[in-house]
Amino acid sequence: MSDQQLLREYVDGGSERAFQSLVQQHVDLVYSTALRRLGDAGLAEEVTQNVFVALARKAPFLGRDAPLAAWLHKTTLLEARHRLRKELRRKRREETAVALGTTMKEEDSSLKSLSPVLDEALMELREKDRHAVLLRFFENKNLHEVGEALGVGEDAAQKRVAKALEQLTHLFRRRGYNVPAATTIGAVLHGATQAAPAGLASVAAQTALQSAGAMSLTGLGLWFAKFVGLTKTQTAALCLLASATPIVYEWNALSHAAAGREQRRVELTELRQALAGYQAERARLERELRFVDDSILQLGVEQARRTKLASSVPPDNDPRLYRWSETSAYVRLPKSLFSQIKLYDPAMESNEQKDNRTKWSPALTKDGKISAVLLETMGLDHAASAHAKQAFLDFAQGYRDLEESHTLLTNTLPEGVHIDGSYRTSITSAFPSEGKALEARLRAAVEQTMDKDRADALWNYLRGAFYEFNDFGARTRTLILHFDKNGSILITHPDEGFMTQLVALNEVPQQFKPFVEEWKSTQNTEQRPYE
């Protein structure tokens, strides 16, 4: 398990096993650091115990992502400083600097030279870099384990350790130590770790657990528990302090106040966590309530739609219902639906439509041919259908005669139109009165074959088809026939936004055919000398 998992298990459940595992993992780091600072094995063991006592008491207040090894290293240095007098530490540094000089010869001398200032250099590193170095060299973890502890991959952990070694090398050189390379620092760090005496981890863990469980001891009891195993001088000082009853009483009250403050802080943290949980639960319930409200609203809308739909359905005896007659060959359709359906009649397709595989066919052609499928859909028998077909053929012939009588063929272009090459312009003037009479005759002929309702439905269905007949001559129509560079026939409609379409020879309007034949013969005459 990771440090954070063990620490949470100890804080949340009071697991002694978890705390002992933490001590076992980090006891060498703490002991080595204390030994380097103090130079005394007995004092180093005492500092080690005090550090883990501090860990047991402060575990609830450590952040969940706090690097434990870095925290232990820093706490060990602080605890060691309380064991040395300031003047003694300064004197030891001066003596060490004079004795060692600034030149190192081999790995053993490097370890002895750098040990006094090693921890100070480590403290100048960033916390994450120092944590990585402590895990790699002081606790002998591989790079994969270091990466897991730091929450990064193995490559990232290796880069962080290498960067920290480079920084340490720079720090030592700045202090006057001739460190040849970062690898030397790595060797020094490996050698700086001293194994803790056998049984120290168990003793430190037990002492820390007893101290953490004895938070209700008197101030004097806590004092003796904290400073057990002091030196003679410190023992004498302790006896002197113990004899000062007022001072002890005040210290005891202060300790209780500090303990109470920590307890209140823990309770406040727990209350804040509970409040955050309640707020999250409230937000969840509000989201679910909004979802329920939306669902109720949607159900209301759906219920209203179904009620409206049910009210719109006629009863069984309503004459608007269109039922199939099993004795009839036809299916009855509502007239409103008839005008919306699209009929496909292969017999009405042109060659161009067949080539394009278009699943659409006109209901009425320019020559007056009407779709037999359309007439059959109207429910006409054979005789009525034949009469209707003949009525549309007569209408088309009558329209072409009127159109021809009102058409003028000229070789002039409308104003603003420019066309290169040969062309002819056809201008058909409007003949609305004659066209209306022609429409009335067609309508009368159609109504002779069917009732008025079906005639109205057929007329609405063919409304778009009558555009080919200029809506019975309602408008003036201008057409310009000309040719492209390949000799293809083009017809431009100035009245319709100058739309130009390519037409086949058999689709050329009757008034243009003499001109086209004349142009074709001219082209053949011009090409003959080159044959």
Residue 134 has pLDDT above 70, yes or no: yes
Lowest model confidence (mean pLDDT) among 37-51, 346-360, 381-395: 346-360
Exposure string of 24-40, with b = 16+ CB inside 10 Å and e = fewer, is: ebbbbbbbbbbbbbbee
**How many alpha carbons lie under 13 Å from residue 381 in its C-beta half-sphere?**
2
CA distance 319 to 335: 14
Could you tell me if 19 and 56 are in contact, meaning their C-beta atoms sit under 8 angstroms apart? yes
**How many alpha carbons lie under 13 Å from residue 440 in its C-beta half-sphere?**
6
Torsion of CA 118, 124, 129, 134, to 10 degrees: 30
Residue 261 has pLDDT above 70, yes or no: yes
Q: Which residue has the higher pLDDT, 531 or 370?
A: 370
**Sheet with 477-483, side-by-side order of all strands:** 407-410, 423-428, 477-483, 489-493, 499-503
CA distance 494 to 474: 17
For range 419-434, the mean pLDDT? 91
Residue with tokens 């115990």: 49
Could you tell me if 56 and 208 are in contact, meaning their C-beta atoms sit under 8 angstroms apart? yes
Q: What is the tens place of the pLDDT at every residue in 316-328?
A: 666 656 555 666 6
**Which amino acid belongs to residue 506?**
N
% residues pLDDT > 90 (the chain) = 18
Question: Is residue 418 helix, strand or coil?
Answer: coil
Q: What is the tens place of the pLDDT at every residue in 92-114?
A: 656 655 554 444 444 445 545 66
Q: How confident is the model at residue 180 (pLDDT cuts 50, 70, 90)?
A: low
Q: What is the tens place of the pLDDT at every residue in 290-343?
A: 999 999 999 999 999 888 877 776 666 666 565 556 666 666 666 667 767 777
Candidates 23, 53, 15, 27; CA nearest to 222 is: 53
| Backbone torsions φ then ψ of 38, nearest 5 degrees | -100, -30
